[in-house]
Amino acid sequence: MTEDTVRRAPVDLGIVDGLAQLSFLVQAELGRVAADQGLSVIQLRLLGVLRDREPGMQELARHLGLDKSSMTGLVDRAERRGLVRRTRAPHDGRSVRVSLTDEGHEAARRLAEDAGRRVGALAAHLTDARRALLSSLASELVNGHTEL
């Protein structure tokens, strides 16, 4: 057995595997956070998006990278759980605005809190400086690829 005797030097996975593995790690943690409230990751994400927005189905689908027909189902299920509500848009009889119910806001708050705790824990053993660096690098990537 080598586990005890070899103090393994931290292996650099490279940028691709590093990002991929990290994403699995984070997604797993988000999955646990969501599961604690009986939700899925995509529902968690939906609630997160809706915290500060009240988009139409189309816009929501674009934001989440889903087909519009997938959105119908996603919102259906969230609505069935009382987290989300459909309202008719004022000046367009076709479109719908999706917003959080009170219960939805409450769930979103809990999720954000738990995610803060649990995802934060992933980075807990980093020094403050390195954590800040990671945060800045992650933001740089996200900002560079989310909104262009």
Contact map string, positions 105 to 124, toward DNA, x by CB under 7 A? --------------------
Helix axes 68-80, 57-64, angle to 10 degrees: 100
CB of 10 to DNA, least distance (A): 28
Q: Can residue 111 be called a binding residue for its own copies (CB under 8 A)?
A: no
Q: Can residue 119 be called a binding residue for its own copies (CB under 8 A)?
A: yes
Kindly tell me which residue out of 33, 47, 50, 57 binds DNA, with binding defined by CB under 7 A: 57
Contact map string, positions 68 to 107, toward DNA, x by CB under 7 A? xxxxxxxxxx--------x--x-xxxxxxx----------
Per DSSP, 83 falls in state S
77 binds, among DNA, its own copies, none (CB under 5 to 8 A by kind): DNA
CA 19 to chain CA centroid, Å, is: 16
Radius of gyration of the chain, Cα coordinates, nearest whole angstrom: 19
Binding to its own copies in span 52-81, by CB under 8 A: 65
Q: Which two tokens stand for residue 102?
A: 């009170």
Q: Which two tokens stand for residue 109?
A: 């708050």
Of 34, 92, 27, 104, whose CA–CA distance to 58 is shortest?
A: 92
73 binds, among its own copies, DNA, none (CB under 5 to 8 A by kind): DNA
85 binds, among its own copies, DNA, none (CB under 5 to 8 A by kind): none
Q: Classify residue 80 as exposed, middle or buried by CB count within 10 Å of its CB (0-12, 13-18, 19+).
A: exposed
